[in-house]
A and B are shown apart, each in its own frame.
Chain A
């Protein structure tokens, strides 16, 4: 599913000179945010599948829809960097455009099975876009690596 813009939901990376651009889309902002989270993880996790052996809840709020993207991805980055949390699936519900609650199924990093990719340092506001219409929401964000 990821990578094919024809699909209802998905994510893909795009070129940025020194960093990595990430595009995510879905029928709702919840779906697009879930795809963005999986896309972020796809950059950090080079290989190895993630098991749904554990669950974790996230609650994030921000001033607006764009800031919510930054806050949400930063939350996942923090969970990975401090606890090694990896998500196999994300279920995201958005309220009022600037609050979300999410259930993640996944596990913690296991170096015998998981190969790490490029470390993401942070989530940038530069050229950040959240575009939504009646049947699709599209997010573009640049990650500092």
Chain B
């Protein structure tokens, strides 16, 4: 976790940081892709902040507020190494979105704001044997079938309503519960982080409200930036690795699914922010932002949150598993072939809003730490014991959604990520425009027609909201992945291009 300094322009704390965050002169450049916020930037910082960026992207990052938030993250007791910001970082609440922080399990804290409201928001990639040529003539039919099969949008009720007993089973067992119900194949579990079941989940740590909010939402996509897309492999950068993932042929259709734990996870986070606000062990910790509320990992409240967060994570894995099953059924119906014959294997499933207890080398010593990844993806290297046998040689697959008009990326984890970023890389393109700015800029534009002209079919519950999620509202994901690839915290394998989009 050490890096040599090249340049130093620190103003020190005497001048006082502006409320909007550090400016360029307060950053130290470490190398081509890394800048550092020194602890002298703000009294109370325990470790420096490190930002992954490029000369072209850095001004955009500096114009927003995420770096002030990154400096605030470094106040967390027990934080080790650096507080990290991925290149897609943007202003969040408490933690920046695109933030990574590791805290020592012995004397460190856990912060629900470092995971996010949408616990285990993540991405699953499913491959197929279909080619873009085969799909194009049936695209309309395929999108209609998927739109019927996978409820999207706010307030939509799922196809199943969980009883209290089954809800507890989902919270305990995640994707494994769904597979036991016939919602998927046993081997789907081999290719998910934690095999789709995070250990230590205790439904007793989850409020009745969180269970009630989730009961009708299993197998639903939600709204906002969540989506289900049919994409085509556009360009392969590393053929042997792409072959190991089953996506080596350009033109191959894959299903890219981005969703999380729905109301269940949101309520868990909200509940524990309140619990932590009242807990004596938490109240004694001075933090610059209330949304950073935290509790010692070893306190009763900290342990309860970990057990509840695992439940939220498991709900999300069961959710993506149920959607996987209905997606297979829908495409099998359209193409008149079984989902097995369509080769619809899960490639992998990643969580990008989560905290995990992991071992990392910090200053030459192996330490057990709680890695908070909020809008960041785990990127374990080849040979890591957590990886399934089939990916031992290539490393952990990482999926980086872009916008619905341009591209998404497939990458793999690296040793560089273990050395630099607690085994983490970016999670997406990052927003460039706020929702209202996107609406203003695209006033009068028919997004469905505009995307159709780009060759992308869309089904949305509310087409008028599409402008908020338009390609224009996001940074170019290619710029983001050029940085993570260049810095060596993940390695690009293939670029995917959207063909059909299902949105809330």
Chain A residues within 8 Å of B, Cβ to Cβ = 13, 15-20, 44, 46, 62-63, 66-67, 70-71, 74, 78, 80-82, 84, 109, 115-119, 121-128, 142, 144-145
Q: How far is the CA of A138 from the CA of B2 in the complex (A)?
A: 46
Contact A118 B223, beta carbon cutoff 8 Å: yes
Contact A122 B266, beta carbon cutoff 8 Å: yes
Q: Which residues of A contact B278 (CB under 8 A)?
A: 63
Contact B94 A118, beta carbon cutoff 8 Å: no
Contact A119 B155, beta carbon cutoff 8 Å: yes
Known: A18-B97, A119-B222, A119-B504. A145 touches B435 (CB 8 A): yes
Q: How far is the CA of A142 from the CA of B91 in the complex (A)?
A: 12
Contact B91 A18, beta carbon cutoff 8 Å: yes
Contact A67 B270, beta carbon cutoff 8 Å: no
Q: Which residues of A contact B464 (CB under 8 A)?
A: 46
Contact B504 A71, beta carbon cutoff 8 Å: no
Contact B290 A125, beta carbon cutoff 8 Å: yes
User: Which of the residues B92, B93, B117, B434 comes within 8 Å of A15, measured between beta carbons?
Assistant: B434
Chain B, 459-481, CB within 8 A of any chain A CB: 461-462, 464-465, 468
Q: CB of B277 within 8 A of chain A?
A: yes
Q: How far is the CA of A109 from the CA of B153 in the complex (A)?
A: 14
Contact bitstring B182-219, A, C-beta under 8 A = 1, else 0: 00000000000000000000000000010011000000
User: Which of the residues A20, A67, A127 comes within 8 Å of B274, measured between beta carbons?
Assistant: A67
Contact A116 B289, beta carbon cutoff 8 Å: no
Known: A17-B434, A109-B155, A145-B224. A122 touches B270 (CB 8 A): yes
Q: Provide 8 A-B residue pairs closer than 8 Å at the C-beta atoms, listed in order of the A residue.
A: A15-B434, A15-B436, A17-B64, A67-B277, A78-B213, A116-B155, A123-B270, A128-B290
Contact A18 B90, beta carbon cutoff 8 Å: yes
Contact bitstring B32-68, A, C-beta under 8 A = 1, else 0: 0000000000000000000000000000000011000
**Closest-CB distance, A10 to chain B (whole angstroms):** 17
Q: CB of B118 within 8 A of chain A?
A: yes
Contact B462 A80, beta carbon cutoff 8 Å: no
**Closest-CB distance, A126 to chain B (whole angstroms):** 3
Chain B residues within 8 Å of A, Cβ to Cβ = 64-65, 90-94, 97, 113, 116-118, 153-155, 209, 212-213, 222-224, 263, 266-267, 269-270, 273-274, 277-278, 289-291, 293, 431, 434-437, 461-462, 464-465, 468, 504
Q: How far is the CA of A83 from the CA of B465 in the complex (A)?
A: 24
Contact B267 A78, beta carbon cutoff 8 Å: yes
User: Which of the residues A13, A81, A115 comes within 8 Å of B213, measured between beta carbons?
Assistant: A81
Contact B153 A116, beta carbon cutoff 8 Å: yes
**Closest-CB distance, B277 to chain A (whole angstroms):** 6
Q: How far is the CA of A145 from the CA of B266 in the complex (A)?
A: 11
Contact B93 A142, beta carbon cutoff 8 Å: yes
A contact face: mostly helix, strand, loop, or mixed:
mixed
Q: How far is the CA of A77 from the CA of B386 in the complex (A)?
A: 38
Q: Which residues of B contact A70 (CB under 8 A)?
A: 270, 273-274
Q: Which residues of B contact A74 (CB under 8 A)?
A: 270
Known: A82-B213, A122-B117, A126-B94. A20 touches B435 (CB 8 A): yes
Q: A70-B270, A74-B270 are in contact. List 4 more A-B contacts (CB 8 A).
A: A62-B274, A70-B273, A119-B223, A122-B266
Q: How far is the CA of A16 from the CA of B97 in the complex (A)?
A: 12
Closest to B92 in A: A18
Q: How far is the CA of A78 from the CA of B437 in the complex (A)?
A: 28
Known: A118-B465, A145-B224. A19 touches B153 (CB 8 A): no
Counting chain B CB atoms within 10 Å of each CB, the highest count among A62, A66, A115, A118 belongs to A118
Closest to B94 in A: A126
Q: Which residues of A contact B291 (CB under 8 A)?
A: 124-126
Q: How far is the CA of A124 from the CA of B222 in the complex (A)?
A: 19
Q: Which 7 A-B pairs have the closest CB atoms?
A: A119-B154, A126-B93, A119-B223, A124-B93, A126-B291, A125-B290, A122-B117
**Closest-CB distance, A2 to chain B (whole angstroms):** 15
Q: How far is the CA of A28 from the CA of B209 in the complex (A)?
A: 30
Contact B437 A15, beta carbon cutoff 8 Å: yes
Contact A81 B263, beta carbon cutoff 8 Å: yes
Closest to A82 in B: B212
Q: Which residues of B contact A123 (CB under 8 A)?
A: 270
Q: How far is the CA of A128 from the CA of B291 in the complex (A)?
A: 9
Q: Which residues of A contact B92 (CB under 8 A)?
A: 18-19, 126
Contact A18 B461, beta carbon cutoff 8 Å: no
Q: Which residues of A contact B267 (CB under 8 A)?
A: 78, 122
Closest to B436 in A: A15
Known: A13-B436, A17-B434, A80-B155. A125 touches B273 (CB 8 A): yes
Q: Which residues of B contact A80 (CB under 8 A)?
A: 155
Closest to B97 in A: A18
Known: A67-B277, A122-B270. A115 touches B462 (CB 8 A): yes
Q: Which residues of B contact A62 (CB under 8 A)?
A: 274
Closest to A75 in B: B209
Closest to B268 in A: A122
**Closest-CB distance, A82 to chain B (whole angstroms):** 5
**Closest-CB distance, A20 to chain B (whole angstroms):** 6
Q: Which residues of B contact A118 (CB under 8 A)?
A: 154, 223-224, 435, 465, 468
**Closest-CB distance, B224 to chain A (whole angstroms):** 5
Closest to A120 in B: B154
Known: A16-B91, A78-B267, A121-B117. A116 touches B461 (CB 8 A): yes
Q: Which residues of B contact A122 (CB under 8 A)?
A: 117, 266-267, 269-270
Q: Which residues of B contact A117 (CB under 8 A)?
A: 154, 462, 465
